[in-house]
Amino acid sequence: MGFDVTAIRKDFPILGRTLKNGKPLVYLDNAATSQTPQPVIDVIVDYYSRYNANIHRGVHQLSQEATDAYEQARQKIQKHLNIAHAHEVIFTAGTTHSINIVAAGFGQILQPGDELIVSALEHHANIVPWQMACERSGAVLRVIPMTPQGTLDLDAYEALLNDRTRLVFVNHVSNALGSINDIERIIHQAHAVRAAVLIDGAQAAPHLVADVQALDVDFYTLSAHKICGPTGVGMLYGKEKWLNLLPPYQGGGEMIATVSFEKTTYADLPHKFEAGTPNICGGIAFGAAVDYMNSIGFEQIAAYEHQLLLRATEGLKSIEGLTIYGDHDHKTAVISFNLAGVHPYDVGSILDQLGIAVRTGHHCAQPIMTYYNIPGTVRASFSFYNTFEEVDALIAGVKKAQQMLC
């Protein structure tokens, strides 16, 4: 079947909404949170309507049904990312939680003088936990510099690697700029010095599928709400050897094998990292979102979104005084830009009055904004359910904002 955006949009009830100003919604904040299709909403309603129960602990039918659905979702994610074992999939509250699990674990085994490498393109969630780990352990944080084009200087990265490097962590795709990083090279070169690699896949997941075995990556993270799923749930993939090595992040129920006042032993994977009652419905809906995205097809999604990106880039570049940051070819459908002499918040406010939802600010990536010496950007991020007419509405809206503010 061909790609039919009109039919796809019918799956998303919110896209038909008219806002309080009488304008139809043009939703271009997909890098923050994607919208949820009716098939995923139906799964959420079905769970709470028919088999809401705790998992792994009950012998009654509802508990067994919930457990089966939850573990089936884990298997869907395993298959989606070509993960070797289902127990290498850890359900979390999202990418931030996933990264903190790994950072807290490494923080207990790192030694003074060990080195960690982060990129200059990271979200704060892939910076701050590692700074905390360094403070606890005495390890040193090194930074891969960025270029004016919004890419990473991988020659500088290679020079940073040495026999003290223990872990490298970078995003697959920059949330602020949309830049797709060459993670294959990053992983290969890190492994050459026996360093582990964590890839933040939150922004890549809506646009492409990572094959973790082909990549040979040690850790990979993503959040359900970026791929048409609910908020508050995500996953951490970790190679079995690393997950067995790292200590648990939290203590409580579910993650134990035996408990006494003298000693506690921990459960096998994945339960070792899944203390307490999880977001059961969220995990099940996460699996449904993976199914939905695959039913559309990621190759079709990428091809269509690239056309949206080309049209938006061409139209915005025609506006005098507009600067696009991260203007290069190897990126997802994200455009960060500013109008000369205008604060990004003001542009976003005018667009909001026109019914166009974009994100303004530093996008939890302040080091990028510092590099460009700007307070923030206007970020328009596109999804496979957006239309060319919505792209044109954005371009017209920016032109109107410029007329009103300049």
pTM (whole model) above 0.85: yes
E strand segments, 172-327:
196-200, 219-223, 234-238, 256-259, 264-266, 322-325
Residue-wise pLDDT tens digits, 276-296: 999 999 999 999 999 999 999
Backbone CA torsion sign across 125, 75, 227, 69:
negative
Percent of the chain past pLDDT 70, that is, above it, reads 100
Q: Where do we find the tokens 């960690």?
A: 116
Local confidence band at 254 (pLDDT 50, 70, 90 cut-offs): confident
Instruction: Assign residue 276 a region (left: φ > 0; alpha: ψ between -120 and 50; beta: otherwise).
Output: left
pLDDT of 88 > 80? The answer is yes
Tell me how far apart the alpha carbons of residues 256 and 273 are, in angstroms, rounded to a whole number. Answer: 10
From the list 99, 91, 125, the residue with the least C-alpha distance to 286 is 91
For residues 214-230, average pLDDT: 98
Single-letter code of the amino acid located at 155: D
Written as six digits, the tokens of 322 are 């507009």
Question: So what's the pLDDT on residue 71?
Answer: 98
Residue-wise pLDDT tens digits, 137-187: 999 999 999 999 999 999 999 999 999 999 999 999 999 999 999 999 999
DSSP string, 27-86: E-BTTT-----HHHHHHHHHHHHH----SSS--SHHHHHHHHHHHHHHHHHHHHTT-S-G
Q: Radius of gyration of the chain from Cα atoms?
A: 22
Local confidence band at 256 (pLDDT 50, 70, 90 cut-offs): confident
In a 3-state reduction of DSSP, which class is residue 101? helix
Q: Which residues are part of the catalytic machinery?
A: 364
Single-letter code of the amino acid located at 9: R
Domains located in the chain, CATH noted = 5-30+297-405 (3.90.1150.10), 41-295 (3.40.640.10)
Cis peptide before 39 (omega within 30 of 0): no
Backbone CA torsion sign across 165, 169, 172, 178:
negative
Tell me how far apart the alpha carbons of residues 3 and 218 are, in angstroms, rounded to a whole number. Answer: 35
Tell me how far apart the alpha carbons of residues 305 and 21 are, in angstroms, rounded to a whole number. Answer: 28
From the list 371, 374, 361, 324, the residue with the least C-alpha distance to 119 is 371
pLDDT of 307 > 60? The answer is yes
Specify the pairing of strand 89-92 against strand 334-339.
unpaired
Tell me how far apart the alpha carbons of residues 85 and 81 are, in angstroms, rounded to a whole number. Answer: 11
Round the average pLDDT of the chain to a whole number and report it: 97
Written as six digits, the tokens of 243 are 């997950």
Q: Which residues pair with 266 in a beta bridge?
A: 256
Please, are residues 368 and 121 in contact by the beta-carbon 8 Å criterion? yes
Please, are residues 171 and 144 in contact by the beta-carbon 8 Å criterion? no
Tell me how far apart the alpha carbons of residues 306 and 328 are, in angstroms, rounded to a whole number. Answer: 13
From the list 198, 200, 223, the residue with the least C-alpha distance to 106 is 198
For residues 300-311, average pLDDT: 98
Tell me how far apart the alpha carbons of residues 326 and 25 are, in angstroms, rounded to a whole number. Answer: 27
